[in-house]
Amino acid sequence: MAGQNKKSLKALAVDIAEGYLSINPLYLKPFDEESLKSLYHFVTRVQIEIRIAPFPYNEIELIRKRNLQLQRLYAATTVIKNFAREKKYKVF
């Protein structure tokens, strides 16, 4: 995974937010320390971008979509942190 460029990691983080991809330790196994750190960075950036967007008041479906995206990204950061701790990587 060392040769993976940053644009694809950004797309990976967006796919996680949309629910097209779920992160688990088996998926993270081929990542080295550098690419895992980059993935963590992009996942947090997508979280920030979603939180910065104006809140969709009175639109239940958009609120639900936003909350699901944030929930998926939070779960991904938790899995990445725990995987990095197991491997003794310094991700944060």
Tell me, yes or no, whether 79 lies in a domain: yes
* 77 neighbors 43 (Cβ within 8 angstroms): yes
Overall domain count for the chain? 1
Helix count and strand count (H, E) for the chain? 4, 0
Q: How far apart are CA 69 and CA 51, in angstroms?
A: 10
Q: How far apart are CA 19 and CA 21, in angstroms?
A: 5
Tell me, yes or no, whether 92 lies in a domain: no
Q: How far apart are CA 66 and CA 53, in angstroms?
A: 10
Task: Write the pLDDT tens digit of every residue in 32-90.
Answer: 999 999 999 999 999 999 999 999 999 999 999 999 999 999 999 999 999 999 999 88
| pLDDT of 75 | 97
| pLDDT of 28 | 94
78: containing domain: 6-87
Tell me, yes or no, whether 13 lies in a domain: yes
Mean pLDDT over residues 6-35, rounded? 91
pTM as predicted? 0.88
Tell me, yes or no, whether 64 lies in a domain: yes
